[in-house]
Amino acid sequence: MSEKWKLEGTYFESCNCDVACPCVFLSPPTENDCTVIVGWHIENGNYGNVNLNGLNVAFGVKSPGNMSEVKWSVALYFDNKASEDQKNALTQIFSGQAGGHPAALVSFVGTVLGIKSVPIYFNQNGKKRSLKIENIADVEIEAIEGQGGSDVQIESHPLCIAPGYPAVVAKSKKLNFKDYDFNLEISGKNGFYSPFNYQAN
């Protein structure tokens, strides 16, 4: 019998598409591909009796076309603060083996480029989110100001990292990512953020 597990916290993503990324509506990316970094900060989480509070996870994803129609290449990054038991738990969850929404995301993956245990720094401050993966990535986004200073949000979009939550639309201050065949150094492109809540089916 598989372990019971649950994760909740905050996530954000940034990609090379113009704002707002059309991939979440199952439309083609604004460039020939969509290259995206997704970061999760686990505020409360467990896998069986393994506590996962405070850990970070990141994916680097490249989709060579419409994300709903082609297979993705993915690099996985796990927080090097994680113990061996915690790394094993995160691997089970984010590889899709433990079910839940991560399994739905992983169903789009065609190639796993690698899995690394690295220092990951996740920060949220008001309408800003940032992620640093040491010697690999440096990403910062800020929410776009809507009417009356409100957040611009989309909800119920079909391709979604965090089901059940509206995504705040943001723009990147920077998106630098160099690893495997990823090579981005851009700004002014798409970002989304929201809470997330995943659990075993």
**What pLDDT is recorded for position 174?**
96
Beta-strand pair 5-15/50-51: unpaired
Rounded-to-integer distance, Cα 140 and Cα 116, Å: 21
pLDDT tier at 201, thresholds 50, 70, 90 = confident
What 3-state DSSP class applies to 18? coil
Only one residue has tokens 């506590």, namely 51
Domain range for 37 is 5-199
Across residues 63-75, what is the average pLDDT? 94
Distance CA 38, CA 47 (A): 21
Q: What is the structure's pLDDT at 9? A: 98
pLDDT higher than threshold 60 for residue 190: yes
Quick one: pLDDT at residue 42? 98
- Dihedral of CA 186/187/188/191: which sign? positive
> Residues in the chain, how many?
201
**Number of domains comprising the chain:** 1
Instruction: Measure the CA–CA gap between 32 and 114, rounded to whole angstroms.
Output: 23
Mean pLDDT for 158-163 is: 94
Q: What is the pLDDT of residue 1?
A: 45
Q: Is the pLDDT of residue 148 over 70?
A: yes
pLDDT of residue 40 exceeding 60, the answer is yes
Query: Is the pTM higher than 0.85?
Result: yes
